Structure 1
């Protein structure tokens, strides 16, 4: 989930997401669609997604809130589709999650993954409760634009006003074994700022970044995937630790640094991520 690209459900170019090398397409029925276009957008999305052809790319749909006039209709129709996840906007409690999960099952969707948008102060405060709300929750997604507004904070280049909120959500995600995705970068002309935000998000522990333009996909993929030197070092760490274990030793020394089991486990995570990315990108190239 290095790159998760938002696409409005009302977009005339919805079919083009098959051609974009993002890890996931987040098709939006909520903020990206005007109220008067909601019903038509839902119909368009369901028709397009039902055609398939997305290969290994994940396809997820963000529904409208159940407190809106469109949320229940969204769930009823999306439950008929084969999607990788349903994204719930502005989640603020475990009850919000359970309502969606129950309705999806009522309409025939079995064990559909749920991604929870954390984009309000109350959502951040209850991040642990939300992360553990239901067995189908698999990802927390930061809605940093709405959160910044509700915090009455300023958008700053270093995102200092958001660091506590980002960290709290990452902690919740890691506590319950979920992914955590960073919020969007709004200024599409600010390439340097986008790279800085990607680097910061990765350094903090984010799994990937939500995006608003296809031109940013390649950069996000680069920052949130292990580079060649990291992969090479991961293989060396695993080899050193396995050789030590074969000698009956619990740790090894590699390039003057101690290698213990925790380092080997992290190295295996990097290798697994690298291999998953390679398979995904091979699928993009083959169109499968």
Structure 2
């Protein structure tokens, strides 16, 4: 049993006090680069000016023989790049791997001053977060850090999804969750080889035409990830942390990528992973409210006055629930516009 009063005490002598709230900073795209790749490290400074989150990847996508080079690359980027307003994250190797402990140690002791968030893959339950929480506190104390590092978990197993609420509430370090569709599909024994997105065999079919049994019956492709994303969003909102869609693997299919990102955005996600520069602009466009939506939301808020009661606006009923929805859109628009003059102008916020 743990007293609620102890929840916000440091877990190690000399470690910084945990945060009471998760700071919201734009994170429409978490842009991955392999930290072992010298050419990609050379582009990190330029990429930091184009993305909301830049992530040095040490895990999947980095061959076993390059794991130590990736760890050294993380430290190199952390100590040489001016990130400005951009967040700097890293994804370490899983806790059951030979590299996870050394990744966490180097991340805190050698790169901790530059890092904002450490992403933990294949989290299956709160015990994984408890382990990381205590270890980070000890390392922060050793490194003399004054701000606590945040933790982001990836849902990649059925057990993780089953325990998602407990994971979200496991520590005040929890910053958010991402959906890991490829590993999750394998763990669930789903019969798809795609990395995210829909599947042409996952459909609903229109009923037969009662007057013509030979008439075509249109089919409509469905979203394999709707349930999991919705559950993840609910768990994150309950805990006061942030939900993200993960990777979309078909780099060449920008249209389907945008569709998947928009599904996640509409369900409540704040961002998605970008695996290629072409996906950066897609994520930026999708996870920024459309100017027309912002204008409409502002009209509703203004027309509703104190936000109570109900009105008719453009032939549609608006009430206090409508106002709350509109406030979500306008608040996000203002957060993004504060850091993006082009968006501010499109929203009519520019002074």
1:255 maps to 2:318: no
Q: Whose helix proportion is higher, 1 or 2?
A: 1
Which has the larger displacement, 257-266 or 170-179?
A: 257-266
Aligned to 1:138: 175
1:220 maps to 2:283: yes
Aligned to 1:172: 235
Matched pairs, number: 280
- 44, 55, 64: which one pairs with 1:17? 44
In the TM superposition, what is the alpha-carbon distance from 1:128 to its structure 2 partner? 0.6
- In the superposition, relative to structure 1, how do residues 179 and 252 fare at CA in structure 2: closer, same or farther (>3 Å)? same
In the TM superposition, what is the alpha-carbon distance from 1:24 to its structure 2 partner? 0.9
In the alignment, the residues of structure 2 paired with residue 133 and residue 190 of structure 1 have an alpha-carbon distance, to the nearest angstrom, of: 37
- Higher relative contact order, structure no. (Cα contacts within 8 Å, ≥ 6 residues apart): 1
Which has the larger displacement, 249-258 or 10-19?
A: 249-258
SS in 1 for 2:43: helix
| Preserved contact between residue 57 and residue 70 of structure 2 (Cα < 8 Å) | no
Which has the larger displacement, 260-269 or 51-60?
A: 260-269
In the TM superposition, what is the alpha-carbon distance from 1:100 to its structure 2 partner? 0.8
| Preserved contact between residue 124 and residue 163 of structure 2 (Cα < 8 Å) | yes
Unaligned runs of 5+ in 2: 1-26, 201-220, 344-351
With normalisation by structure 2, the TM-score equals 0.74
Deviations 1:164-203 (A, max 9, x none): 2222212211221221111211111112221221222222
Unaligned runs of 5+ in 1: none
| Preserved contact between residue 253 and residue 259 of structure 1 (Cα < 8 Å) | yes
Structure 1: 4+ residue segments shifted above 4 A:
none
Deviations 1:256-279 (A, max 9, x none): 333333332332222221122223
**After the TM superposition, which residues 123-272 of structure 1 pair with which residues of structure 2 at under 5 Å, given as runs?**
123-153=160-190, 154=192, 155=194, 156=199, 158=221, 160-242=223-305, 244=306, 250-272=309-331
With normalisation by structure 1, the TM-score equals 0.90
**Who wins on radius of gyration, i.e. which is larger?**
2
Aligned to 1:116: 153
| Preserved contact between residue 9 and residue 42 of structure 1 (Cα < 8 Å) | yes
Which has the larger displacement, 117-126 or 203-212?
A: 203-212
- In the superposition, relative to structure 1, how do residues 216 and 99 fare at CA in structure 2: closer, same or farther (>3 Å)? same
| Preserved contact between residue 55 and residue 283 of structure 1 (Cα < 8 Å) | no
| Preserved contact between residue 57 and residue 280 of structure 1 (Cα < 8 Å) | no
In the TM superposition, what is the alpha-carbon distance from 1:144 to its structure 2 partner? 0.7
| Preserved contact between residue 108 and residue 139 of structure 2 (Cα < 8 Å) | yes
In the TM superposition, what is the alpha-carbon distance from 1:282 to its structure 2 partner? 4.3
| Preserved contact between residue 241 and residue 260 of structure 1 (Cα < 8 Å) | yes
1:37 maps to 2:96: no
CA RMSD of aligned residues (A): 2.1
